[in-house]
Amino acid sequence: MTQLAYLAPSSAEEAAAALARDGARPLSGGTDLLVQLRAGRTRPAVVVDLKAVAGAIGVREQSGGFVIGAATPGAVLGEHAALSRAWPGVVEGATLIGSTQVQGRASLGGNLCNASPAADGVPALIAARATCVIVGPGGRREAPVESIATGPGQTSLAPGEFVLEFRLPPRPARASDAYLRLIPRTEMDIAVAGAGVNLVLDEGGRVAEAHVAVGAVAPTALLAAEAGRALVGGRLDDAALAGMEAAVRAVCRPISDKRGTAEYRTRIAGVLARRAALIAFERAGGVR
Amino acid sequence: MSKIHVTTTVNGDPVEFLASPGATLMDALRDDLNLTGTKEGCGSGDCGACSVIVDGRVVCSCLMLAPEAEGRRIETVEGLAQGGHLHPLQQKFLEHAALQCGFCTPGLLMASKALLDANPDPTETEARYWLAGNLCRCTGYDKIIRAVLDAAAELRQERAA
């Protein structure tokens, strides 16, 4: 392995200053970075470990919503009862990543910023309308999750910037979410396609708000805004679900590779979104 | 590039070593601390042969930089047997013939220990999912699962006694 310097700053400002230097790479759980280092696909001069930065690890409730430290391991999210109750889909996405061993380290911040089109942690965060708190040399800013990845391995983060935490909006009653992905086996694989659906129901049990996001069907995970709108106002009747599926397929522009053809991925993304919508609806207390 | 001084705890003993900044925890365990029970399989987090327990969580030591071990509590396969007596997991792996070549065994033992520490009475399904990140090309897994469930039963009995 190449020689490189290792820094573990405890403040966000120090971390941003260290990351602004030439050849610096951020490290959270390392489950992608260490593989890239070993393969020689990245040759940083310095690795900046973000896990000691205040706020980078842990889950807290703030102003009625949850704040997730971007470097929090998936296993910690899965063990967080209140987060799992409010956002089961976000937790499903995070805890589907890799093996038990990988879950002990892998984080949502790393999953987002590694910018794989098939990142399982990302679609449910987008559907949740989560935002990122980004720290950089110029201070802090907040941006929607879907604005971070710009293509495979590419992000909109400026030099020195890193994602410190995710903010999930306050959760009303009668609201839930779900994330589903397709892999040809039951564990240890990368999504052929994935879909996250987040629903808020009104007092009459009708969908008041719906957000749908898909993964592995485009260069980045996508918010399918039209698909969400197709679900609003009803109880997920067949016509609404068919409209939602068509809207999902309309935004898909996948590649064909060994995991599936573009046609298959497009079709499956719709099926997964339909099933995830039905699960989220039932979790929110909806009755069709 | 200068080496980094790391102070950590391995199998209950305080240890210090000088890590090359690009070295993994697995490299440090094997090359600096001579704890060669931890094996390198794939080196990319897919096979689980390098599994160790860090602060109570099983991780791939090939996916962790050695300097990240600073101040942590690390458990490796060398710490399983106590006072010359095999750990029940080791004993049951022998009784059930849950190994042939043995290369995956240290990782499977540590992943299984983490499972039983967290869940003393796992179902077969829970055990199979928990161990999905540990590959074995010899046994076909069934004997491993029998050994883990049998060790769990024995540990429960020991605790009840």
The torsion angles phi and psi of B109, rounded to 5 degrees, stand at -65, -45
Can you identify the CATH homologous superfamily of domain B88-160?
A: [2Fe-2S]-binding domain (1.10.150.120)
Residue type, B116: L
Would you identify the CATH topology of the domain A5-49? 3.30.43
Q: Cα B38 to chain center, whole Å?
A: 7
What would the pLDDT profile of A14-58 be if each residue is shown by its tens digit?
999 999 999 999 999 999 999 999 999 999 999 999 999 999 999
CB contact under 8 A, A187 and B45: no
> Å from B83 to nearest chain A CA?
28
pLDDT greater than 60 at residue B83: yes
Class of domain A175-282: alpha beta
Give the residue ranges of chain A where pLDDT is below 50.
1
B contacts of A37 (beta carbons < 8 Å):
22
Cβ proximity of B43 and B98 under 8 Å: no
User: Does the domain made of B4-79 have the CATH classification 3.30.2010.20?
Assistant: no
Q: Is residue A157 within 8 Å of residue A233, measured between CB atoms?
A: no
Inform me whether the C-beta atom of residue B129 falls under 8 Å from chain A C-beta atoms: yes
Contacts of A1 in chain B (CB under 8 A): 20, 22-24, 27
pLDDT (average), residues B82-100: 97
Q: Which residue of A has its CA nearest to B49?
A: A101
**Span B38-56, average pLDDT:** 97
Is residue B29 a contact partner of residue B19, using CB atoms and an 8 Å limit?
no
For residues A220 and A116, give the distance between their C-alpha atoms in angstroms, rounded to a whole number.
7
Instruction: Name the residue ranges covered by the structural domains of chain B.
Output: 4-79, 88-160
Break chain A into its structural domains and give their ranges.
Answer: 5-49, 59-167, 175-282
Burial of A24 (0-12, 13-18, 19+ CB in 10 A): buried
Cβ atoms B18, B30 nearer than 8 A = no
Could you report the predicted ipTM of this complex, rounded to two decimals?
0.96
Q: Give the amino acid at A286.
A: G
Average model confidence (pLDDT) for chain A?
A: 97
Nearest chain A alpha carbon to B66: A6
What does the pLDDT read at residue A1?
47
Q: What single string gives the DSSP state of each residue in B86-112? A: --HHHHHHHHTT--SS-SSHHHHHHHH
Look at residue A187 in the predicted model and tell me its pLDDT: 84
CA nearest to B115 within chain A:
A100
Pick the CATH number of A59-167 from 3.30.465.10, 3.40.50.300, 3.40.605.10, 1.10.260.30: 3.30.465.10
What pLDDT, on a 0 to 100 scale, did the predictor assign at position B62? 98
Assess whether pLDDT exceeds 80 at residue B21. Answer: no
pLDDT at A2: 53
Determine how many CB atoms are found less than 10 A away from the CB of residue A2: 14
Q: How far apart are the first and last CA of chain B?
A: 55
Q: Residues 13 to 42 of A: which have CB under 8 A from any B CB?
A: 27, 29-31, 34-35, 37-39
| pLDDT at residue number B1 | 58
